Every structure is written in C-alpha cells, then in structure tokens.
Structure 1
C-alpha cells in the first residue's frame, strides 16, 4: 500500500468531519503504517481489507479493521455523512488504485495534516540498516556513515529514548541535540527567545507550537513561567541550539494533566530552538520585591533601567511589539512609585522621559502616530529626538503645520541634525501639496455650481475619487483632513467614495467645529 493512499485516507478523514473518537482511530492507523514500514520489507502486510464502518464499530473494532477504503468511493470527496452515521454503516474497500502521479500534489497539499519532512524537520536520527525499510531514499554513503531518517511523532517514545541522554539522575528529562549551539550554556535565570513544538505520544499535531503561530516566545527561566521540566530543559541549551526533550509527567502536567488537550500522567516531547537569550539578572528583580517595596523608587530603579535596556534590545532585533510592552511595563512601575527627595525626582524624570521617548519611537515604527504623539507629550525632559518623533507622528496624522513647529523646536536644539532637516522638508512638501489639492477642490466647487444636479454629482465623484486615491498611495501619512469651505454635497460624496474604497472617515470636535478626516485602516 503506497504512501499516497495514506494521504488520500487523511484527506478523506478531514472531508468527513469525523467525531474525535473516530478520528483517533484514523490517526493511530497512519502512525502504525509508517512505523511498520520501517520494519517490514516489501511484503503483504497491508492487503485489501473489508469491513462495515459505523461510529459504533469504530469504537469497538480492532485498530486495523476500523480503517478501510471503499469500492466506488472517491477518496478525495469521501462519502455522504448521513450514510456513514446510519445503523447499516458503509462498506469500504481500498487498494493501490490511486494514480501515482497525484503523489506530489497530495504530499504538498496545505490541508494534509503532516508530511514526513515538514512536521518535524529538525528530527533526524541515525538508524541502522535493520531499522530502515527498503523504500527509503537514504543509503549509507561511501564513508560508511549511518543514514538519516525523519522520525514522526507517532513513533513510540521508547524508540526515541534509545537515542537520548539523561539530563537528570532520575531520568525524568531526556535530551537529544539535533543542532549544536554556540557559546556557553545559558544562565539559569536568562530571558530566552525560543521556538518550540510540544507533542503527546501518538499524535501528529502538536498541542502547542510557535511554528503554527508563526512567532517566537520569550520566557524568564526559573520564574515559573513554564512547566518545570521544560524550564530545566532550556537551561541546558546554548544559543542557536535545537534539541529534543522527553519530559516525565512529574515534571510536566502531572496526574491531572491539562484537559481536554493533555490527559493526566502524559509524557510530553518538546522540540526547542533557542534563538536568543539575555542573561541580565536585573530584568525581573521587581518580582522578587515585597509589595510594599515595589512602590519605593530607590528599590525599583535598577530593574527599571534593565527594563529599558531589554526594550532597546528587543527594538534592535525587530521585536517592536515586545519593546513596547517592556517600555509600558517600566512606565507603569515608575508612575506607581513614591519619591523621597528632589534628587530621586530628577532620576525619576530622566527614566520616565527615556521610557516615553523610546515608546514614541516604537509607535512610529508600528505606524501608530496618535499613540506616538501622546507618548511624546508625556516626555518630561524633551530633547531634539523627542521633537523629531513628535513631528514625524504629526506628519502621519496630516497635521503638517504642527509638525513643522515641533521639528523647528528640535532643530534649535540640534542645528546640524540632517534627519531633522530632511523631516522638516518632507513636512513642508506635503503641506504645500495638500494645500494645492484643497485649493483645486474649492475652485472646482465654484466651477460646478451652475451645472445641473446630475452633472454636478458626476464631477464631484471624480474629485472625491482623486482625493481618496492620492491619500491611499501616499505612504507618508495615515490621516488626511477634509478641505475646509467645500460644498457639503462634495463632503458627503467624499465620505461615500472613501467607504467604498475601504478608507475610514472620522470626525473630531475642535472647539465646537467638526472636522472630518480620512484614515487608513491601521491608523492608531
């Protein structure tokens, strides 16, 4: 029975939306097939099987007898769900009638649950000749080295344990290095950045995976942010290392487990890639303080400085959202602290200004100009850098005149700042361009005043469409105010055209005067 049929079976399972109890039998069958192929030569182990398939029989029949494919049933589109759930059941037969030309299509289909190489691309275990099946493409090379084989998570954990070493004397954590790291073993209280996937025995899909989320996770070791077994496992790693860990239930989820995903007394397997770490021990010293001490500036000052450093490191690595979280955490802790004297107040203002200023930089990077303006406004000791990012945020908000004023203040503090001059020229250019557009729109309103109603509507729609298109293609701004003193009819048409083009329209009450703005969808 070819591997193509296995993927066909898997597609059928997904098409049928089987109950979990039925789906479990299917999964076990696939794992059993792949594992057996390692040990069986080209024999007749899998012949055409035939039985009656009902939900009741899936729960009661032996494993292999519960999975069969049918005479006249398309394995891609499956069968009628009503027939499958009936008391009579459905008769299935299967064989090798699938066109082998479809193999590649099914292997790389995004709806297939797993492929040999993609699910655990890092797990390459040395296997000997007697463990290798005849269909394997891996052969011993001329140097006599052992071949490599991808191991699926459905393989019995006992088989993997043979390749692993104990991390603890009691054997409750086992480790296999898949890719060597660099440098020294990381400190026990490091702030780590990892990618990982966690598996239960006999399951093809991880119960937790950063790869599925297409992200990384950051944890402080030794602070109970992870299950204890995984925490201890990561403490044994080096930077850029990729390792496989098997963790005993006592150091994982215990007797209770984590229902419904993880049953009690479950051994778990983790594949961990340590991408980066920060070994500064001061970062979370705040958590070690007593609640009363957390409000004393003198006792939290070191942890605040370290939080600012961690935020800067995150920003440099491109983890802007993590940097935002770190700066906001530092600000919250500072603003809840008490000061004893003027000297502490000066140090407090310096740290708070750094935090808000760096927060504004991050907000501008993430195209959140409104939040960047709020952060700049909260900076106590404003610098040229503060005014630069204040002006940049105002440009994105379409407030060109205010942006020019802020940038001029920054230029007075740092007259030779080329970036400041460049941003000032951009603000002036955009202001003049915006003014020309608004003047043209106002004069157009006068020109069409004498036209008929239909002709006026048509002309206004053309003007509104051009206004919205210019806003959309301008990557320098996130918001644009409506021109003043235009025909109310044109303003209404602009609103309608903008909504049709997916542009938000908002209004702001300024001293009793309502101003309308175009806003891009991600404006914050």
Structure 2
C-alpha cells in the first residue's frame, strides 16, 4: 500500500434516507409504490428533479428487471447466504476484492419485486454512500454483496428479506418479507485497518513480536486511512500507538530486529508527515531524532524533506536548506522537493530583507540597502564581500583594506551599498595612471 500518505460520523450524515436509515427504522421521507392499502402512487416531484432542483433522467432509475425475481435468479450466481449475483461490468482488478475493515464508496439503486422505480437510490440524492465494512453501518445483505465486488465493478444482486428488513418490513415503503434487487456500482475502496487491534491482547502476548506484528500493521493501516481522509490528528495518534506497541515487543533473533527496525523507520517517517500537516514542527524534529537511532537520516529523502519543512517553519533557514538539498541529491527529480526549495528560497529572501530593514531602522539609516536593490552579481561574490567586510570590521587598528581591481559596475555598486551599514566607504583612486580600490572606515554613515 502506498504511504505517500477521509470521518465515519460525517459519512452517515450524508445518507439521510439511505441504507443506514432503513436498517434502523428511521421515518422515511420518500414514497414507494408499496402502500398499506395498495393504492397506486408515483415518485414525489422533488425526487424527479433531485435534491438540488436538477432534472434527473428517469431512465436511470428504471429497474433492469420487472418480472418475478424467480425468473432472474437462474441467470445469476449464488454467492452465499442465499444472495444471488450477476456481474454487469467486471472490476478493473480481479485480484483486488473488498475485505475486512475496508472503506468503500458505492452508488446504488434498490428495487422491490415487480416495481420499476427504486425505493432507495444514491442517484436521487446526488451523493454516493461511503462506509467501513464490519462496522455494522449498513444492512448485512448489502455488506455481503459489496464484499464480493472489485474496484469499478457493477453488479445486480437479489438479496433475501432476512438480510434486509426482516419479516415485518418497514411500512409504508417496505413490504413484509420483501426481497430486493440492488444494482450496485463499487466506485472505490481502501483498507481502513483497526486502531484497537493491539488493545484486546493479554499483557504476555503484547511482548511477542511474532504475535503482535499483524495487529500492529492493522493499526498502521488505520493511520494511513485517517491520513487519506485528512484526519491528521487521528492518523498521528494511530502511528504513535503502532510505534509504542512495536517498541515494546521482545525480539528473539536478528531477523525480527531487522524487520522491526524497517517498520519503525516507515512509521516515524509517516509520523513526521502528520506533524507537519498539523503544523507541529517541534514534534517533527523529535520524530526525526528518534529516526536517527534507527537509520542514517542523511540517506532518507522522505525524512529529510519533512525535517526541512519543519526547520523552515521554525525559522532555521540554514538547517532547512541543508536538509532539502540533501533530499534533492537523493531524489533529484522529485517535484515536491524542488517546489519546497523554491518556497524556502522566497521565504529566506523575505526574511533577510525584513532583517535588513530592522537593522537600518535601529541604526537610523533609512536608505535602501543591497538587499532591496537588484545587482547582477552572483552569490559567491556576495559572500566574498561579506567575508572581507567582516574581517576588516574585526580589525579595529586597521583603517584600510585593498579590494581587487577589475570589478564590473554592478559589483562596484553592490560593494558601495553593502558597506554603508558598516560605517565604511568604498574608494577607487588613480595615481600616476595606476588604479587602486580599497575600503576605509569613516566613523559615520555615508
């Protein structure tokens, strides 16, 4: 599963008249063709226009089968629990089938026998249904049907009443002992994992690596699931739980030590990503330090990238630049690292400009400095000038220092601007046809 790493309560709120309501017996706002007195009826006008007033194509909601279900079943395959299935569109990956604790997103139409209009439909509501399997979030027959499906598959299911609404049904929409035809499209799914997998374990077993590792990986899968949902705090909590349980395990041989270390490296790297998403750079640094116990962080581009982001957030631009440049050397074509370096360069430039303004204000110099002017000089030249001025400033007994000749106009202008804040003056003199350049200390601002 990829680690370049969505909330159940919210999901159920998006299903006001859906499967969860049917299962719990919520009072419905839609009408079915079924009435207690068998009175003929039709869909309400608001359903024909959709919840947002958008006209719907009624052909999208017509049942694919208006004859007795008994005549459809022979063309279907039995998948267990008296559920029958007919594949309309095969999945894009026959090896990938919904399993235990998967977050699935489906669209569906559900029809009673002999009825042409659905009694329930995600298409009418204009939103898909997302739920986690094994959470008892939907009708058991629907969950069993979905668990037989692959990604992008569309299938028809005849589901018996015992796995739907029971013997009594749910008047006025659902008849007693009502089997139903569900036409389901599986849009996507991913493993959700189980954050509590490591908790229902005896104290003795919690120390056994071979027993705990599968449960720890369930917690890790749950963390990745929360991360993909944008629930970074929950993700960080799950990653921390997985780390703590993994580090508690007793290891019996070198193979377990190597495997544990590799799992911890991935967990700490992912935890750093979560903390950056939560804008907690100090926690990123702590995780980076822990990672350093396990591996050479200078060879981990993902960790270096996250550490660089954290140091930038803390304002340590030199450390951020160093980390990101190391990451770029390891992954030179990574677009995220390149983008972060550009962002860092912009922030660093703005920081230096602000710092320069503050110094000028403190010293009473309101003239713009080199940081605000554009000179055609490279970074190496700037550093050489900076080193020369710093060295000259630290030698109070010296009043003059030579500067190499042959400078361009931009280089000369740069030096003149640079030395103003240091009470120095850049002088170019010519005596008997011989040209010389030097810096002098003026004792005052020019």
Q: What TM-score results when the alignment is normalised by the length of structure 1?
A: 0.44
Which structure's relative contact order is higher, taking Cα pairs within 8 Å and 6+ residues apart? Answer: 2
Say which one has the larger Rg: 2
TM-score (norm 2): 0.50
